[in-house]
């Protein structure tokens, strides 16, 4: 079988940032898939599943309630390697166009101090696997170290 496009990115050179992973068009509608890369692959520790899971619940809740973007959200969820998330938006976007949205989302998550939405046996498949303090910590780190004053090389995949 052929290697799929996302496996052709050089993960050794890849640093935390916001990248366009792919664009797909079907029946005249374009979907942009973003690579929200939070840790440097194969270089620094990956996030634990509990904080990844918490960020997934928080991020999906934030995005699907966003006044300007909620109609554009197709999917938000974690990468299996636990180094980041995929965000799928209806529309044709550049990575810099979602920096304000991501800054808003990670700021909100870094200060979230309430019951995690959907963290109940009825709403989730593994509701006890949550770590809100670590979710806040990783969100804050990504916001301050990557998103704030993001440099151009953190918006386009390395060659
Ligand atoms: Zn869940």
Measure 25 CA to ligand 1 centroid, in angstroms: 29
- Whether 2 has a pLDDT exceeding 90, the answer reads no
**Secondary structure in 3-state letters for 24-63:** EEECCEEEEEEEEECCCCCCCCCCCHHHHHHHHHHHHHHH
Order the strands of the 29-37 sheet from edge to edge: 17-26, 29-37, 84-90, 73-78
Measure 77 CA to ligand 1 centroid, in angstroms: 10
Question: What are 15's two structure tokens?
Answer: 């640093």
Measure 152 CA to ligand 1 centroid, in angstroms: 33
Each residue's pLDDT tens digit, 71-109: 999 999 999 999 999 999 999 999 999 999 999 999 999
Measure 133 CA to ligand 1 centroid, in angstroms: 16
User: How far apart (Å, rounded) are the C-alpha atoms in residues 42 and 14?
Assistant: 9
Measure 52 CA to ligand 1 centroid, in angstroms: 10
Measure 46 CA to ligand 1 centroid, in angstroms: 19
Question: What are 60's two structure tokens?
Answer: 């999906």
Each residue's pLDDT tens digit, 28-72: 999 999 999 999 999 999 999 999 999 999 999 999 999 999 999
Taking the model in full, what pTM does it have? 0.95
> Residues with Cβ within 5 Å of ion ligand 1?
124
């Amino acid at each position: 079988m052929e290697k799929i496009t996302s496996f052709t990115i050089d993960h050794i050179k890849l640093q935390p940032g916001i990248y366009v992973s792919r664009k797909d068009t079907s029946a005249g509608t374009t979907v942009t898939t973003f690579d929200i890369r939070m840790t440097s692959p194969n270089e620094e520790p990956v996030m634990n599943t509990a904080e990844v899971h918490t960020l997934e619940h928080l991020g999906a809740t934030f995005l699907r309630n966003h006044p300007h973007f909620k109609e554009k959200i197709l999917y938000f969820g974690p990468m299996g390697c636990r180094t980041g998330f995929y965000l799928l938006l209806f529309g044709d976007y550049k990575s810099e166009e979602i920096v304000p949205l991501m800054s808003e989302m990670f700021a909100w998550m870094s200060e979230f101090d309430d019951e995690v939405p959907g963290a109940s046996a009825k709403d989730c498949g593994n509701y006890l696997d949550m770590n809100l303090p670590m979710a806040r910590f990783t969100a804050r780190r990504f916001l301050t170290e990557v998103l704030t004053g993001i440099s151009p090389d953190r918006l386009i995949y390395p060659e």
